[in-house]
Structure 1
Amino acid sequence: MRVTQSMLASNSLKNLSKSYANMGKYQDQLATGKKINRPSDDPVVAIKGMFYRTNLTEVEQYKRNLSEAYTWVENSEAGIDQATQVVQRIRELTVQAQNGSNSPEDLQAIGVEVAQLKEDLYSVANTKVAGRYIFNGTQTMNPPITKDNEGILQFDKMVTNSFEVEVSKGVQLKVNIDPSSVFGSGIFSVIQELEDELSVGNLQNGDELLTGLDNNLEKMIAERSDLGARYNRLELIDSRLADQEVIANRILSDNEDADIEKVITDLTIQESIHRASLAVGSKIIQPTLIDFLG
């Protein structure tokens, strides 16, 4: 086959174009820090990257869910703690009221404090976090305890079902408590009876009321213990997700991130090849007919 001057020029330009493309690829890798910048650069790496990135996105979503779970559990624990303190204080006042040296006025004064503590317990039961009631199951937009026109507490809207958060793939964790065990009508009935007797300056059922307070305190402690166990599990899941996130980022980096030292070396070599190609091309392609004839 006869090789013409135009063929030499065409091949030289084609090779120079490839050289420019290679340098452009290495410069893109340096600029982005990635092995590929489009799927066509390496379809296998691109497909694996999509899979690894999906895994990382799932882990990040579960970590956001964990933050939500921590908010519910920690605020629920704080609510139980305050409710327990309130009931314990009411118990102390009941024991104090049973002292035979109290006058009717003393008992009435104790009744006033009991009434205020009852209002505080009511307030805790209707705790809102981020605009949602945390002690009313899945009915987070409705308060668990309401008052009628006469100020009497109503418990008909209290919901006891579980509010669950997905904290890992296929794992739903209950993050609320059973409000009936902590803020149910039982504890308020005992406190109301105590308040009514103290308000008239005569405590007749002190022992019975103490028993009622103790029974409700046991329920609160049991509910708090159960919540603590779930909090411990939440911390274990959090630790496992943190490990999964580190692993997912490392795998994604291994798959997509460019070896900068190697890219710089390859770019330097390619620049040398490109300069050599330009030099050889200038010798092969004769610039004028006179040079060709000469």
Structure 2
Amino acid sequence: MRIANSVVYGDFINNLNLNASTVQDTMHKLSSGKAVSKSSDDPLAAAKIMDYTKALAQNKTYGNTISDSQSWTQTQDSALSSVSTALTRIRSLIQSSANGTNSADEIQANKDEISASLSTMVDALNTSYGDRYVFAGQSTDTKPFSLTKDANGEITGLSYAGSNSNLTREISEGVNLDLATNGSQLMQPTTNGASATVSGNYTKATDLNDYIGKLMTNLNSIIKDPSDKTAQTNLSNGLLADLDNFTNSMVNARTNIGAIENRLQASASLNTSQNLALSQDKSNVQNVDVAQTYMQYQNQMTAYRSTLAMGTKIMQTTILDYL
């Protein structure tokens, strides 16, 4: 049976285009490094790649949240360290003021330094991370603490303007973590001793606002009368004991923040591991095996060159070949 030249030429052109397309596709994979560049390459693989891409983006968001929360807790710990330092200094000044040997001027000097230390403490409690206050509860744009003063500018107490709830962060899918941002808890002593008598006529302070008011009242009493035994006793017993409770409250808050930081560190390690696993799984689906694909390319080029070689022989055929 005689086969027309047009059939031979057509078959050659089809094979040539097929081999060229296959070579071009393999060259694209080698140059891009991707086995799947569009959904038509492999619909099932493309769907998996989209899922991995979404999971990686979500995991990155969680990672950023964890990193931000770690910086937040570190800022809180540093602030409470400054608060504890200020409270330690205030304790020393209270002891000095209660010994009964100081003059009114010396007590006034101690009171002035206590006032300065209280201002330092409040500045630390008003520490911000970026433009967000770290002890303002969920009202992070509200300055939480401020010293209250009378008409003469004398400190009378401490007020809190933040919210009474912690700031919640989602650190992984379905896992939420509360940051210790509720500053109202820092106003409370470690023991619930409201209206409990400590010594003489002194009753335990209910919170820092009450404590500062009692402290300033007794200091003013001694400044007016350095021999005021009641005020001296209040300073040396009740006010010192109360201050220790508030200092312990700050220590407990730092301990809680440390526990949160440890959990965030563990979450950060897990997030990194998940990111590596997801990246590897995506790479296994999307990226080419360079060695294997290059071998395929070599084989395809051999077939392509063979097709070209056969084409030159077909194209050289003339009617003289049939004579």
TM-score by length of 1: 0.91
Question: How has the CA–CA distance of structure 1 residues 188 and 176 changed in structure 2, closer, same or farther, with 3 Å as cutoff?
Answer: same
Q: Does 1:165 align with 2:169?
A: yes
Q: Could you say what secondary structure the match of 2:40 adopts?
A: helix
Question: How has the CA–CA distance of structure 1 residues 24 and 293 changed in structure 2, closer, same or farther, with 3 Å as cutoff?
Answer: same
Partner letter of residue 31 of structure 2?
A
Q: Spell out, residue by residue over 1:43-71, the C-alpha distance to the aligned partner (whole angstroms, 9 max, x if none).
A: 12111111222222221111011011112
Q: For residues 17 and 62 of structure 1, what CA distance do their matches in structure 2 show?
A: 49
Partner letter of residue 90 of structure 2?
I
Does structure 1 retain, via aligned residues, the 8 Å contact 2:160–2:183?
A: no
Shift of 1:148: 6.9
**Aligned equivalent of 1:123:** 123
Q: For residues 50 and 2 of structure 2, what CA distance do their matches in structure 1 show?
A: 50
Question: How has the CA–CA distance of structure 1 residues 2 and 154 changed in structure 2, closer, same or farther, with 3 Å as cutoff?
Answer: farther
Q: For residues 196 and 56 of structure 1, what CA distance do their matches in structure 2 show?
A: 60
**Aligned equivalent of 1:215:** 245
Q: For residues 147 and 107 of structure 1, what CA distance do their matches in structure 2 show?
A: 21
Does structure 2 retain, via aligned residues, the 8 Å contact 1:28–1:37?
A: no
Question: How has the CA–CA distance of structure 1 residues 84 and 132 changed in structure 2, closer, same or farther, with 3 Å as cutoff?
Answer: same
**Aligned equivalent of 1:74:** 74
Shift of 1:40: 0.7
**Aligned equivalent of 1:240:** 270
Partner letter of residue 211 of structure 2?
V
Shift of 1:2: 5.3
* Equivalent runs, 1:124-273 vs 2, <5 Å: 124-146=124-146, 150=151, 155=159, 157-183=161-187, 186-199=207-220, 201=223, 202=226, 203-204=231-232, 205-206=234-235, 207-273=237-303
Q: Spell out, residue by residue over 1:19-49, the C-alpha distance to the aligned partner (whole angstroms, 9 max, x if none).
A: 1111111111111111121111111211111
Q: Could you say what secondary structure the match of 2:169 adopts?
A: strand
Q: For residues 160 and 173 of structure 1, what CA distance do their matches in structure 2 show?
A: 16
Partner letter of residue 165 of structure 1?
R
* Equivalent runs, 1:51-62 vs 2, <5 Å: 51-62=51-62
Q: Could you say what secondary structure the match of 2:292 adopts?
A: helix
Length, aligned pairs only? 293
Question: How has the CA–CA distance of structure 1 residues 147 and 89 changed in structure 2, closer, same or farther, with 3 Å as cutoff?
Answer: closer
- Hey, which bits of structure 1, 4+ residues long, moved more than 3 A? 146-154, 195-200, 289-294
Q: Could you say what secondary structure the match of 2:311 adopts?
A: helix
TM-score by length of 2: 0.84
Q: Spell out, residue by residue over 1:225-260, the C-alpha distance to the aligned partner (whole angstroms, 9 max, x if none).
A: 222212111111111111111111111111111011
Task: Decide which structure has greater helix share.
Answer: 1
Shift of 1:186: 2.2
Q: For residues 11 and 78 of structure 1, what CA distance do their matches in structure 2 show?
A: 79
**Aligned equivalent of 1:48:** 48
Q: Does 1:31 align with 2:67?
A: no
Pick which of 161-170 and 40-49 moved more: 40-49
Q: Could you say what secondary structure the match of 2:100 adopts?
A: coil
Q: For residues 162 and 241 of structure 1, what CA distance do their matches in structure 2 show?
A: 23
Does structure 2 retain, via aligned residues, the 8 Å contact 1:114–1:191?
A: no
* Equivalent runs, 1:99-118 vs 2, <5 Å: 99-118=99-118
Q: For residues 156 and 198 of structure 1, what CA distance do their matches in structure 2 show?
A: 24
Q: Could you say what secondary structure the match of 2:144 adopts?
A: coil
Shift of 1:275: 0.8
Q: For residues 12 and 248 of structure 1, what CA distance do their matches in structure 2 show?
A: 46
Q: Which has the higher contact order (CA 8 A, sep 6+)?
A: 1
Question: How has the CA–CA distance of structure 1 residues 36 and 22 changed in structure 2, closer, same or farther, with 3 Å as cutoff?
Answer: same
CA RMSD of aligned residues (A): 2.2
Q: Could you say what secondary structure the match of 1:41 adopts?
A: coil
Partner letter of residue 179 of structure 2?
V
**Aligned equivalent of 1:86:** 86
Q: Does 1:282 align with 2:312?
A: yes
Pick which of 70-79 and 183-192 moved more: 183-192
Shift of 1:286: 4.1
Partner letter of residue 40 of structure 1?
S
Partner letter of residue 198 of structure 1?
L
